[in-house]
């Protein structure tokens, strides 16, 4: 196995657009020839677009893009900009002479930082598509990770800055990569060392506490905050998949969430993973599911390690330098 650039997966384009002052943005993953796709939603409070279409019993078997965004449910509007971009290229599901670009999406809650009145919209979604043509992968304070934060159980004041993470590997001819915006109530764990690298700060903001233990200590009155979360991601592979297989792989990839985020999948998270398969290489669900969990956990780690402090929130880099 070797680490690769996620854009080494042929047929995939990734672009970001953001408003740094407002603290929000969106990330698009485009496959102009169409991908077989699946989704698995584990959190109890999702903000999502066209997820039901990916149910294996439903008819349409290809999508042309995934839009990950900030802005909570408002940010789902960014998907319309992706549709506009694809429609102009004549790309989408053909209905007679009409083209309907199938674009799935999910949003994080980042309204607690920056300017909550500004959210990703159709214009920003379109801009991210234009930026995808540059063939440059960005991480950290960009796209859907612009306003992301982690460790929010005691409120945003004691949270840490997170962002967008990307990681990909190749095994033989098989390529698997992950794009993730990490916006969790929980802490982020380094999957190599098992140490906490971002999360709930103490009152002095000098060290990271255990969110899990804080929750356990509050068992009688649950005095913390579970709102304002959600980690959203897309797993991308060059494998040939059915919708059922893509859905199962998305579910197995949630193991990467569980390895790198603690706690995760809470009642007010909207934790969501999409799978996109370009259909080039034969593989199997078990290989792809285990690779998916691996690259997703690594991408989650990169989301905090590549991020700079902003909006009054310190980053993992800042804490390390104290």
What residue ranges define each of the domains in the chain, with the CATH number in brackets?
2-321 (3.60.70.12)
How much is the pTM? Answer: 0.95
CA–CA distance, 270 with 44 (Å, rounded to integer): 6
Length of the chain: 322
- How do the pLDDT tens digits run along the chain, 322 residues long? 999 999 999 999 999 999 999 999 999 999 999 999 999 998 778 888 888 888 888 888 899 999 999 999 999 999 999 999 999 999 998 888 889 999 999 999 999 999 999 999 999 999 999 999 999 999 999 999 999 999 999 999 999 999 999 999 999 999 999 999 999 999 999 999 999 999 999 999 999 999 999 989 887 776 667 777 899 999 999 999 999 999 999 999 999 999 999 999 988 788 999 999 999 999 999 999 999 999 999 999 999 999 999 999 999 998 876 5
DSSP state of 234: E
Rounded CA-CA distance 196/188 in Å is 6
Q: For 235, phi and psi rounded to 5 degrees?
A: -100, 130
């Amino acid at each position: 196995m070797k680490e690769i650039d996620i854009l080494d997966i042929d047929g995939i384009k990734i672009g970001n657009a953001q408003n740094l002052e407002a603290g929000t943005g969106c990330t698009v993953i485009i496959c102009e020839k169409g991908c077989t796709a699946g989704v698995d939603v584990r959190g109890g409070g999702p903000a999502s677009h066209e997820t039901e279409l990916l149910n294996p019993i439903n008819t349409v078997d290809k999508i042309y893009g995934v839009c990950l965004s900030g802005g909570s449910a408002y940010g789902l509007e960014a998907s319309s900009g992706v549709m506009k971009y694809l429609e102009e290229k004549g790309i989408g599901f053909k209905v007679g002479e009409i083209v309907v670009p199938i674009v799935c999406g999910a949003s994080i809650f980042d309204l607690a930082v920056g300017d909550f009145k500004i959210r990703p919209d159709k214009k920003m979604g379109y801009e991210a598509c234009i930026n995808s043509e540059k063939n440059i992968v960005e991480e950290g304070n960009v796209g859907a990770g612009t306003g992301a934060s982690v460790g929010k159980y005691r409120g945003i004041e004691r949270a840490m800055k997170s962002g967008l993470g990307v990681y990909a590997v190749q095994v033989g001819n098989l390529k698997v990569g992950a794009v993730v915006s990490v916006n969790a109530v929980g802490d982020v764990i380094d999957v190599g060392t098992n140490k906490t690298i971002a999360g709930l700060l103490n009152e002095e903001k000098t060290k990271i506490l255990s969110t899990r233990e804080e929750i356990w200590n509050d068992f009688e009155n649950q005095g913390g905050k579970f709102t304002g979360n959600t980690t959203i991601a897309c797993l991308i592979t060059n494998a040939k998949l059915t919708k059922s297989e893509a859905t199962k792989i998305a579910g197995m990839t949630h193991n990467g969430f569980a390895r790198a985020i603690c706690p995760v999948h809470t009642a007010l998270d909207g934790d969501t993973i999409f799978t996109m398969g370009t259909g080039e290489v034969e593989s199997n669900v078990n290989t792809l599911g285990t690779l998916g969990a691996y690259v997703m956990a690594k991408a989650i780690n990169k989301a905090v390690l590549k991020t700079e402090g902003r909006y009054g929130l310190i980053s993992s880099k800042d804490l390390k330098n104290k």
